[in-house]
């Protein structure tokens, strides 16, 4: 029973809240001169902890820092999995009144392509129901469906026209 | 080509600062320059957004030429107005003179930090959910359509989200002549620099442990990661954080007009900040009821004006509110309020001690707010600031209760972003109570002027 209470306090408080409680009690019972030292010590310690944690996080990101020196277009292409140039390509070849669907492939690239295609409105579909689509875009995967005619392909991405 | 894009992006930042400077100089301080870059930037972003919102209501298109013209016009007074030019020159020289040899190490640390964060930030474009499916998607629509229209407000749900961030991003797109998820990151990066800079200005007045406080803020992992991480760099939360920080700083220094403006602008970034703005409107009259003090009429009118503008905008375009338009009987029947509230409180408790987001920042905040609680009660503006931040938490917990999504998954994907919104403001309060014994000891314009 007693161990259960101790465990509960430890889970809820952990070293973070328990040490905070201890520091507050210590502060209130300390003479005025000591209080000033406690406050200063806390700030300096907290700054060192932040510095250390940030250093650790930045050290994990050294690859990112090296990537800074790459050409901007390359950084954009790498991050967007080639969808930035695919969107530019589609905007060039799509008829002005084109509408259609993007077949869901991979969350962020699909949302990104949908955003980049504006003012073309392309709805995202997750199943092969092409009834409301004039064009269908498939990222990274070739679709095989008798209702679709391949109109264009660009670096592993495909544009289809739906056959009536 | 990238050099031209960089120059244009820097010009946009300069024009935001310049717009803020002109508003502050001609309208707020009445030709007495205060030279506060963070305040100018906040005002500039806010003005640009409100201008485009008014254009949206009046159906006036925002074209590239208009944006270029506005940018050039904002740069003119600095060359034409001799008094402004002189004050700006004097204040710049005065600021530079303050730099002493013993500051070199600190300045070097700041430089290394910002260069490193800048390099990580500009090693990628924005690549996160909220930005891609909402904030920057809207910005692209506003840019292509030449401003806000009844149609494009509804394309990327939820439509009731405010548009300050998207409109500022659209402004930069107009000048660049393209929607760039890469260069738009210059806005959050500048916000981080100015947030740390403003904190430094405030802390520097105390002349004790200046660098420890500044390092504590700027090295808080999630603060700089919000800018440097491709998943978060397009989010709006840092802007809310920036405005709530500026508003709290203004309130603590009894700059109530600035406080009103910044609380108002924070709610134009995200609805999350509405509790603080509503709280400010309701409590300012109560906290100002003292015979000796002049009633802050202008501040109250501004705050209520911005609140009504915010709500009126939603009403005019029929944007609704996803949290108010709930089926309340269903919510109350299906969700036991105490259990849900308790779960949210426990989630915040867990989040505060998450070292890799906040270091021991919250440990410090709690320590100073608890051990100096009497100081807070003795100064009514500190009390009001703390109540408004508490109102923010009440708002967050309420949203977690009424949300249409699963509470646990919504908390898991958003709680750290909400905590970021109030973190710098809370750290500012912790610093303030750690330094000043009573309200009489508050320098009237510490950090400002």
* Complex confidence, ipTM: 0.93
Interface-testing mutation among B2, B117, B119, with chain A (most A C-beta atoms within 10 A): B119
Q: Is B373 on the interface with A (CB under 8 A)?
A: no
- Verify whether the Cβ–Cβ distance A68 to B155 is below 8 Å: no
Q: Is A39 on the interface with B (CB under 8 A)?
A: yes
> How close does chain B come to A137, measured CA to CA in Å?
18
Can you give the pLDDT at residue B203?
92
A and B: number of Cβ contacts within 8 A: 142
Q: Is B355 on the interface with A (CB under 8 A)?
A: yes
**Phi/psi of residue B43, each to 5°?**
-65, -40
Can you give the pLDDT at residue A12?
80
More confident residue, B441 or B230: B230
- Alpha-carbon span A34 to A37, nearest angstrom: 5
- Arithmetic mean of pLDDT, B335-363: 95
Q: Is B352 on the interface with A (CB under 8 A)?
A: yes
More confident residue, B447 or A127: A127
Can you give the pLDDT at residue B291?
67
Can you give the pLDDT at residue B393?
98
Q: Is B119 on the interface with A (CB under 8 A)?
A: yes
What residues pair up with A125 in beta bridges, in sequence order? A103
pLDDT at residue A1 is higher than 80: no
> How close does chain B come to A2, measured CA to CA in Å?
23
* Environment class of B412 (CB within 10 Å of its CB; exposed 0-12, middle 13-18, buried 19+): exposed
- Verify whether the Cβ–Cβ distance B123 to A76 is below 8 Å: no
Q: Which residues contact B211 (CB under 8 A, 6 or more apart)?
A: A47, B106, B109
Instruction: Name chain B contacts of A70, Cβ cutoff 8 Å.
Output: 123
Residue of B nearest to A45 (CA): B212
- Arithmetic mean of pLDDT, B180-199: 97
Instruction: Name chain B contacts of A14, Cβ cutoff 8 Å.
Output: 353
- Verify whether the Cβ–Cβ distance A70 to B368 is below 8 Å: no
Angle between helices B407-435 and B337-352 (to 10 degrees): 60
What residues pair up with A100 in beta bridges, in sequence order? A122, A135
Instruction: Name chain B contacts of A75, Cβ cutoff 8 Å.
Output: 123-125, 182
- Verify whether the Cβ–Cβ distance B353 to A14 is below 8 Å: yes
Segment 117-146 of chain A within 8 Å of chain B by CB = 118-119, 121
Q: Which residues contact A13 (CB under 8 A, 6 or more apart)?
A: A21
Q: Which residues contact A86 (CB under 8 A, 6 or more apart)?
A: A113, A139, A154, A155, A157
User: What does the pLDDT look like over B94-116, one tens digit per residue?
Assistant: 888 888 887 888 899 999 999 99
Dihedral angle of Cα B213, B218, B219, B225, to the nearest 10 degrees:
160
In chain B, % of residues over pLDDT 90: 79
- Verify whether the Cβ–Cβ distance A75 to B124 is below 8 Å: yes
> How close does chain B come to A28, measured CA to CA in Å?
7
Instruction: Name chain B contacts of A84, Cβ cutoff 8 Å.
Output: 125
Instruction: Name chain A contacts of B219, Cβ cutoff 8 Å.
Output: 47, 50-51, 53-54
Q: Which residues contact A100 (CB under 8 A, 6 or more apart)?
A: A120, A122, A123, A133, A134, A135, A136, A137, A162
Instruction: Name chain B contacts of A11, Cβ cutoff 8 Å.
Output: none
Can you give the pLDDT at residue B448?
41
> How close does chain A come to B392, measured CA to CA in Å?
22
More confident residue, B301 or B440: B301
Segment 211-240 of chain B within 8 Å of chain A by CB = 211-213, 215-216, 219-221, 224-225, 228, 230
Interface-testing mutation among B124, B218, B345, with chain A (most A C-beta atoms within 10 A): B124
Q: Is there a contact between B276 and B389 (Cβ–Cβ < 8 Å)?
A: yes
- Verify whether the Cβ–Cβ distance A46 to B360 is below 8 Å: yes
- Verify whether the Cβ–Cβ distance B145 to A119 is below 8 Å: yes
- Verify whether the Cβ–Cβ distance B355 to A53 is below 8 Å: yes
| Mean pLDDT lowest among A70-74, B283-287, B304-308, B437-441 | B437-441
Interface-testing mutation among A20, A38, A70, A85, with chain B (most B C-beta atoms within 10 A): A20
Pick B125's closest partner by Cβ from A42, A47, A79. Answer: A79
- Arithmetic mean of pLDDT, B328-357: 92
pLDDT at residue B16 is higher than 80: yes
Instruction: Name chain B contacts of A40, Cβ cutoff 8 Å.
Output: 208-209
- Verify whether the Cβ–Cβ distance B219 to A51 is below 8 Å: yes
pLDDT at residue B127 is higher than 90: yes
Q: Which residue has the tokens 């709006």?
A: B236
- Arithmetic mean of pLDDT, B170-192: 97
Q: Is there a contact between A113 and A76 (Cβ–Cβ < 8 Å)?
A: no
pLDDT at residue B334 is higher than 90: no
**B187 HSE (CA, 13 A, CB side):** 32
> How close does chain A come to B406, measured CA to CA in Å?
20
CA B362 to chain centre: 20
Mean pLDDT of chain B: 92
């Amino acid at each position: 029973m007693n161990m259960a209470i101790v465990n509960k306090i430890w889970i809820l408080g952990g070293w973070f809240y328990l040490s905070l409680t201890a520091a507050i009690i210590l502060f209130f019972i300390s003479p005025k001169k000591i209080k000033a030292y406690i406050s200063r010590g806390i700030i300096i310690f907290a700054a060192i902890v932040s510095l250390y944690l940030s250093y650790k996080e930045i050290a994990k990101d050294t690859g990112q820092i090296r990537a800074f020196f790459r050409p901007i277009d390359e950084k954009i292409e790498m991050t967007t999995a080639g969808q930035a140039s695919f969107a530019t390509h589609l905007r060039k070849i799509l008829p002005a009144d084109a509408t259609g669907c993007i077949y869901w492939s991979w969350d962020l690239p699909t949302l990104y392509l949908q955003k980049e295609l504006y003012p073309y409105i392309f709805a995202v579909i997750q199943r092969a129901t092409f009834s409301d689509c004039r064009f269908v875009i498939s990222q990274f995967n070739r679709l095989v469906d008798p209702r679709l005619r391949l109109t264009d392909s660009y670096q592993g991405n495909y544009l289809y026209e739906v056959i009536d | 080509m990238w050099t031209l894009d960089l120059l244009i992006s820097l010009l946009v930042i300069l024009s935001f600062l310049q717009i803020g400077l002109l508003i502050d100089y001609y309208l707020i301080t009445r030709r007495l320059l205060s030279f506060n870059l963070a305040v100018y930037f906040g005002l500039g972003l806010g003005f640009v957004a409100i201008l485009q919102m008014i254009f949206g209501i009046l159906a006036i298109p925002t074209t590239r030429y208009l944006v270029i013209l506005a940018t050039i016009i904002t740069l003119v007074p600095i060359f034409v107005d001799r008094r402004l030019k002189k004050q700006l020159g004097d204040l710049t020289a005065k600021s530079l003179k303050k730099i002493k040899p013993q500051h070199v190490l600190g300045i070097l640390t700041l430089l290394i930090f910002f260069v490193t964060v800048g390099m990580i930030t500009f090693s990628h474009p924005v690549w996160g959910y909220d930005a891609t499916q909402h904030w920057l998607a809207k910005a692209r629509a506003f840019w292509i359509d030449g401003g806000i229209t009844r149609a494009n407000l509804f394309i990327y749900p939820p439509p009731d989200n405010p548009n300050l961030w998207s409109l500022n991003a659209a402004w930069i797109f107009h000048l660049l002549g393209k929607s760039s998820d890469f260069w738009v990151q210059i806005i959050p990066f500048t916000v981080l620099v100015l947030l740390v800079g403003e904190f430094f200005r405030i802390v520097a007045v105390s002349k004790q442990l200046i660098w420890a406080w500044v390092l504590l803020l700027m090295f808080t992992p999630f603060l700089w990661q919000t800018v440097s991480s491709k998943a978060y760099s397009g989010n709006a939360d840092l802007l809310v954080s920036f405005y709530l920080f500026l508003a709290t700083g203004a309130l603590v220094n009894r700059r109530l007009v600035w406080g009103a403006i910044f609380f108002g602008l924070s709610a134009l970034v995200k609805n999350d900040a509405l509790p603080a703005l509503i709280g400010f409107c309701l409590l300012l009259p109560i906290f100002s009821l003292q015979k000796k003090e002049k009633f802050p009429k202008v501040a109250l009118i501004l705050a209520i004006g911005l609140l009504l503008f915010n709500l009126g905008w939603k009403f005019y375009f029929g944007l609704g509110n996803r949290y108010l338009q709930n089926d309340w009987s269903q919510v109350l029947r299906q969700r036991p309020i105490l259990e849900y509230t308790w779960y949210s409180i426990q989630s915040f408790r867990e989040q505060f001690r998450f070292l890799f987001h906040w270091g021991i920042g919250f440990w410090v905040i709690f320590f100073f707010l608890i051990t100096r609680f009497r100081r807070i009660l003795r100064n009514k503006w500190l009390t009001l600031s703390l109540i408004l931040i508490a109102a923010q938490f009440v708002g967050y917990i309420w949203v977690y209760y009424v949300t249409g999504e699963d509470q646990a998954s919504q908390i898991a994907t958003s709680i750290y972003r909400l905590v970021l919104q109030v973190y710098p403001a809370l750290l500012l309060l912790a610093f303030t109570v750690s330094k000043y014994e009573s309200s009489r000891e508050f320098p009237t314009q510490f950090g400002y002027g």
